[in-house]
Amino acid sequence: MQSETSARQWDGTLSPNDFNSSVAALCERWKEVNDSLPQWLWVPFPVVGDSSCNAAGYLTMENVYHQNASEEVSHEESILGDEELSDDATLVQSCGKDDMHVYDYHIVYSFNFRVPVLYFRGYRLDGCPLKLEDIEKDLPAYSLKGLRESKWTFMTQEDHPYLRRPWYTLHPCGTSDWMKVLFGSNAANNQPRPLHYLSAWLSVVGQAVGLRIPLGLYKSQ
Amino acid sequence: MASSSSVVSSYSSSSSDKGSGRILQFDPFQSLVDEGFWHRLSSLKLDSLGLDQSPIPLTGTPLLPSFFSLAFSVCFYAPCSHPKVSNRLTLLAESLPSDFKELQFSLERAHGNRNRCPVPGTLYNMNTFESFKALDRDSLLKKEAKKILDDIHSAKVEEDSAVLSRFFIISFADLKKWNFLHWLAFPALVVGPPAVVLNLRPAREVFNQGEAQSLSAALNEWRNSSLTTGVLYFLVSIASNSRATIRQLKDWKACQDDGQKLLFGFYDPSCRLDNPGWPLRNYLAFISLRCQDGKIQFLCYREKRGFADMGLSLVGEAVISPSKDCRDPQCVPKAVGWEPKPKSINLAESMNPERLAVSAADLNLKLMRWRTLPSLDLGTLSSVRCLLLGAGTLGCQVARMLMAWGVRKITLLDSGLVAMSNPVRQSLYTLDDCLDGGSLKAVAAARTLKRIFPAVEAEGVTLSIPMPGHPVPTNEISRVLEDCERLRDLIASHDVTFLLTDTRESRWLPALLCASENKIAITAALGFDSYLVMRHGAGPLYESDQANSLSTVDGNGGQRLGCYFCGDVVAPIDSTSNRTLDQQCTVTRPGLAPIASALAVELLVGLLHHPNGIHAPGEIANSIMSSSEQPFGILPHQIRGLLPQYSQMTLIGHASNSCTACSTTVVSEFRRRGMEFILQAIDHPTYLEDLTGLTELIESANSFKLDWVDETDDADI
């Protein structure tokens, strides 16, 4: 696969096969360097009748907790009245920690753009999905700045290609261009190794969505 | 560590342990119902109701006529793996069968996933809020708890321990509002007096190093095997040589007899260091009824980043004693386990097709803004109010183009009915609109706009525009005056007026009103194979604050741009009488209307983005491609196109002092005399010519006529 692209200038994209090896490499490396986030897990979605395409599926990292400081949690009056409890063996909990936000991140290969695409969503502990405004409040300042000023990374809501439900995504239309920029002149003729591609890509999109990528991922491997 | 020498001794000498001798309190299960679960439930409901209107009882007879229950829903949980957040019992899309027909739906996808240990449950979905409210939750809880007790007595638990954590959920899915009210219960049997805890401490403090290491290794192996990773309840036996073994629940007899230390282990979703999680409750009931009562030891298994963690996992010792009644398999035990309150989540954001259409349409515009037009002002476009005079070929097409640009407030005005000839050329109508004599065009067009894009605020107004040269019979004067007033109010209450009617004279009153109100007016007009698209200049009486400026001078000091009538030397007259049929109908090449309509809308978008707005000077296409200052390129005044030549040119025409629609004289006179002036202009077309001096101009021109007839043929542009 290297040979198909190395003949002419590399266009910043990734072939389905390279995506696959990239995913495997990332999962392995992540286990070694990650010290706070959950693990990446590949969920295959085999295409019926097409065994050749093993890039169908998504790489998932779920249950990333975000402590939300600002939000006022409203405790509405229950429409039906609360359950009356008279049981000594049940621990009665104070209403805390409800302001926790949970994020799920999926990396999907886009066969149209030939690049990885990040899909993500956030929800409260009661299952209510977060709106874009809520998500933006969770993002660190540098992410917001990037989202406002860069024309390459911006969030939209689109159907998750495998779950068929609207998730937030960073639109992939600029990805191949900034990937070329990222690898600079030394990549003009040489396609980067698959793991390098996905790590470099993750460094940009991770920053955009406030995901702290372990530095170890970028130390010499 | 003081207690690291021996497991057995540490259990008995527990006097210093905190909490010894108190009632064992369990940290209740917490649920999380994923968005996907409701998506799946909605499609199940819609699909099944599409086939059959009656409720679908899947398990036995329904308690109420308006409900269905699903026996095969499943939720998932895993040992707690976060020091501060308890693991939640989660219902996902996969919790439901994808099809009602496949009752025995497979759990293959979930099988072997260490983060998704399946637990069986039942869904009771009610079709109304009232039936949800009326549910006898107490007896439902008892009924479900009885199933657990039966499974204990029948030894089913030993084969499939997950039934001990059986749950159920009652719900009311309001699919019209995408609101999902739900309440979960994790039934816990009360089979005797509360268990008394003798001690409860982190496993690390209880086991010696060898035991802890051996146990961790054994547990990690158990969790990493796809065969056992989903088994929630298990036995831990620790030999005197510190070797730990994990065994299946069904082996409890063998374990009890082999003389080794026995602990009852389970995946604990709780993160609390002082309390075990909820699954232990039914586990203790099972242990006391099937295995042993009195003192027992248990292990609350917890993880950190996917590995057994002896600091978070707890080891406890409790005394349990079931009451005699509960040993009877026929007994109906007491039960607890409802979550404190029902939850309600709204998914309109991700399920309401109208909202999805809005965000999808916005996406295209946002992409355009992000990638090429950073100055694109979507806020202005979505709030600008557009009035379309005429809902024919031009009106339909302009409305569609406006929607494509993100314009949301559109009013269409027309007096006609949809005719049989319309649908093929007028893109908002279908044959249905022509039936039964035809719908009102304005109403039908607005209706179609909403069907195309429900978020549009479209309105249809049926009104005929009073026209000069079409005298008004006395008995209709009041109606005509009323129409004039309505038109004036409409123009005043909109930001932009499109002049898209098929006659010249019907554009006169709107042109005058726009000039008087200083509102943006855009004209599109068609010939057989030529078109004109133009924006009218600012009104003559709005020359900013500069006192001595002339009426033809724009507020910015430049020359005011003309209107549709500025280039004319005759006042508008009746152009429809005495015409042959082909002249009365719109006889134009079909491609013209879409071209002209699109240009009209693009012109407006450019104008709305110009810092000077309505006062923006006219610009002419330059053959030299310069980097234009405006992101939308030049902002022309008039665009004329000739289809036979496939050519198009931009022109500038300045406001005329003798214009019958926008000159100071006419606008001032209208302001002074109001509707009386309009009536006079309608009844006597020459009145306008006299007033503006056009009569004089024509006479003086006629006197020169002989002089310039021969001069040149192409001097007319």
The β-bridge partners of B263 are B236
Contact A127/B35, CB-based, under 8 Å? yes
Q: Using one digit for the tens of pLDDT, what is the confidence trace for B539-573?
A: 988 654 443 444 455 545 568 899 999 877 666 66
As a whole number, mean pLDDT of residues B141-150 equals 91
In a domain, A75, yes or no: no
Exposure string for B153-177, b = 16+ CB within 10 A, e = fewer: beeebbeebbbbbbbbbbbbbbeee
Could you give the CA distance from residue B246 to residue B238 in angstroms, rounded to a whole number?
Answer: 9
Q: What is the pLDDT of residues B250-309, one digit of tens each?
A: 888 888 888 888 999 999 988 888 999 999 999 999 999 888 888 999 999 998 877 889
Residue of chain B minimizing CA distance to A100: B85
Contacts of A34 in chain B (CB under 8 A): 305
Q: Assign B317 a pLDDT band (cuts: 50, 70, 90).
A: very high
Confidence of residue B715 (pLDDT cuts 50, 70, 90): very low
Residue A143 forms part of a structural domain: yes
Catalytic residue numbers of B read 585
Residue B345 has its nearest CB partner, among A85, A90, A128, at: A128
User: B560 and B540 in contact (C-beta within 8 Å)?
Assistant: yes
- Residue B32: list chain A partners with CB under 8 A: 125-127
Is residue B396 within 8 A of residue B444, CB to CB? The reply is no
The secondary structure of chain A in percent helix, strand, coil, rounded to multiples of 5, reads: 35, 25, 45
Complex ipTM > 0.85? no
- Name the band, by pLDDT with cuts 50, 70 and 90, for residue A1: very low
pLDDT of residue B711: 39
Of residues B34, B194, B341, nearest to A127 (C-beta): B34
Query: Closest chain A residue to B87 measured between Cα atoms?
Result: A63
List the single best residue of B76, B94, B126, B349 to mutate versus A (max A Cβ within 10 A). B349
Contacts B281 to A, Cβ<8 Å: 89
- Helix locations, B87-208, DSSP H: 129-134, 137-153, 156-159, 203-206
Q: Which pair of structure tokens corresponds to residue B64? A: 């109420």
Q: Are strands B244-247 and B261-267 parallel, antiparallel or unpaired?
A: unpaired
CB neighbourhood size of B121 (10 A): 23
Cα Rg for chain A, rounded, in angstroms?
20
> Taking CB atoms and an 8 Å cutoff, what residues of chain B touch A91?
25-28, 272, 275
Q: What is the mean pLDDT of residues B623-635?
A: 67
What does the alpha-carbon distance between residue B282 and residue B273 come to, in Å, rounded to a whole number? 20
Residues 171 through 200 of chain A touching chain B, CB cutoff 8 Å = 171, 173-174
pLDDT band at B1 (very low <50, low <70, confident <90, very high): very low
**Residues of chain B with C-beta less than 8 angstroms from the C-beta of A90:** 25-26, 28, 336
Q: Give the pLDDT mean for B607-628.
A: 78
Active site residues of A: 173
Question: B641: which strand partners?
Answer: B531, B648
Q: Which of A99-103, A141-145, B15-19, B712-716 has the lowest mean pLDDT?
A: B712-716
DSSP H stretches of helix in B384-493: 393-404, 441-452, 477-493
Question: Of the given ranges (A171-175, B54-58, B604-608), which has the lowest mean pLDDT?
Answer: B54-58
Q: Is the pLDDT of residue A80 over 80?
A: no
Mean pLDDT of B162-190: 89
**pLDDT, tens only, B34-71:** 888 888 888 877 765 443 333 333 332 233 333 445 54
> What's the CATH code of the domain at A127?
3.30.1460
- In the predicted model, is pLDDT for residue B101 greater than 90? no
The answer to whether the CB of B248 falls within 8 A of the CB of B254 is: no
- Chain A residues whose CB is inside 8 A of the B341 CB are 78, 80, 82-83
Look at A78 and B36 and tell me if their CB atoms are within 8 Å: no
Task: Note the pLDDT of residue B263.
Answer: 93
Contact A78 B342 (CB under 8 A): yes
CB contact under 8 A, A173 and B367: yes
Write out chain B residues lying below 8 Å of A163, CB-based: 36, 93
| pLDDT one-digit tens code per residue, B2-40 | 333 333 333 333 344 444 578 999 998 888 888 888 888
- Quote the pLDDT of residue B40: 83
The predicted pLDDT at position B9 comes to 37
How many other C-beta atoms lie within 10 A of the C-beta of residue B285?
26
Contact present, B181 and B188 (Cβ < 8 Å):
no
Indicate whether A86 belongs to any domain.
no
Residue in chain A lying closest to B93 (CA): A163
- Residues of chain A with C-beta less than 8 angstroms from the C-beta of B25: 88-91
For the segment B493-518, the average pLDDT, to the nearest whole number, is 94
Average predicted confidence (pLDDT) for chain B: 82
| Facing A89 at nearest CB: one of B23, B305, B366 | B23
pLDDT for res B3: 39
Which residues lie below 8 Å from residue B564, measured CB to CB, with a gap of 6+?
A: B499, B504, B507, B511, B523, B525, B534, B536, B661
Q: What is the mean pLDDT of residues A164-182?
A: 86
Q: What is the pLDDT of residues B104-113, one digit of tens each?
A: 444 444 456 6
Point out the residue among A90, A100, A128 whose CB comes nearest to the CB of B85. Answer: A100
Give me the number of domains chain A comprises.
1
pLDDT on residue B453: 94
Q: Which residue of A has its CA nearest to B338?
A: A83
Of the candidates A41, A131, A151, the beta carbon closest to that of B371 is on A151
Least Cα separation, residue A150 to chain B (angstroms): 8
* CB within 8 Å: A151 and B374: yes
The whole domain housing A149 covers 26-66+99-209
Residue B437 has pLDDT above 70, yes or no: yes
User: What angle, rounded to 10 degrees, do the helices at A16-33 and A194-208 form?
Assistant: 70
Nearest CA to B461 out of B505, B412, B504 is that of B412
CB contact at 8 A, B619 and B606: no
Cα–Cα distance measured from residue B475 to residue B485, given in angstroms and rounded to the nearest whole number:
17
Evaluate if residue A48 carries a pLDDT over 80: no
Report the candidate in B31, B66, B77, B63 with the shortest Cα–Cα distance to residue B143. B63
Report the C-alpha dihedral over residues B111, B117, B122, B126, rounded to 10 degrees: -100
Q: What residue in A sits closest to B365 (Cα-Cα)?
A: A156
From chain A residues 122-141, the ones with a CB under 8 A of any chain B CB are: 123, 125-129, 131
Nearest CA-CA distance, residue A38 and chain B, Å? 7
CA distance B610 to chain A (A): 23
pLDDT for A83: 59
| A89 touches B: beta carbon within 8 Å | yes
Residue A148 touches chain B, beta carbons under 8 Å: no
CB contact under 8 A, B35 and A83: no
Give CA–CA dist B11/B207, Å, rounded: 10
Q: Do B347 and A131 touch (CB under 8 A)?
A: no
**What domains, with CATH codes, occur in chain B?**
4-24+193-336 (3.40.140.100), 31-188 (3.40.140.70), 374-700 (3.40.50.720)
H-type alpha helices, B434-591: 441-452, 477-493, 508-517, 581-584
Which pLDDT belongs to residue B70? 53
Q: What is the pLDDT of residue A97?
A: 54
Looking at the complex, does the CB of residue A87 fall below 8 Å from at least one CB of chain B?
yes
User: Model's pTM, two decimal places?
Assistant: 0.73
Q: How high is the pLDDT of residue A186?
A: 61
* Each residue's pLDDT tens digit, B353-375: 888 888 888 888 887 887 778 88
pLDDT for residue B88: 82
Evaluate if residue A98 carries a pLDDT over 70: no
Q: Nearest residue on chain B to A131, judged by CA atoms?
A: B349
Q: What per-residue confidence (pLDDT) applies to A96? A: 52
Contact residues for B51 (Cβ-Cβ < 8 A; gap 6+): none
Residues of B in contact with A38 (CB under 8 A): 305
Task: Measure CA of the first residue to CA of the last residue in chain B; give whole Å.
Answer: 104
**pLDDT tens digits, B325-338:** 778 878 888 899 99
> How many CA atoms are closer than 13 Å to the CA of B49, on its beta-carbon side?
12
Chain A residues close to B306, C-beta within 8 Å: 39
Q: In this predicted structure, what is the pLDDT of residue B226?
A: 81
Checking if the pLDDT of B141 tops 50, the result is yes
Please give the DSSP secondary-structure letter assigned to residue B186. E
Q: Does residue A150 lie in a domain region?
A: yes
Question: Residue A49: its pLDDT value, please?
Answer: 61
Q: Give the number of beta-carbon pairs within 8 Å between A and B.
A: 105
Tell whether the model's pLDDT for residue B100 goes beyond 60: no
Residue of B nearest to A65 (CA): B85
For residues A101 and B359, is the Cβ–Cβ distance under 8 A?
no
**Best B77, B280, B341 residue to mutate vs chain A (most A CBs within 10 Å):** B341
Whole-number pLDDT of residue B640 = 93
Each residue's pLDDT tens digit, A122-131: 998 888 888 8
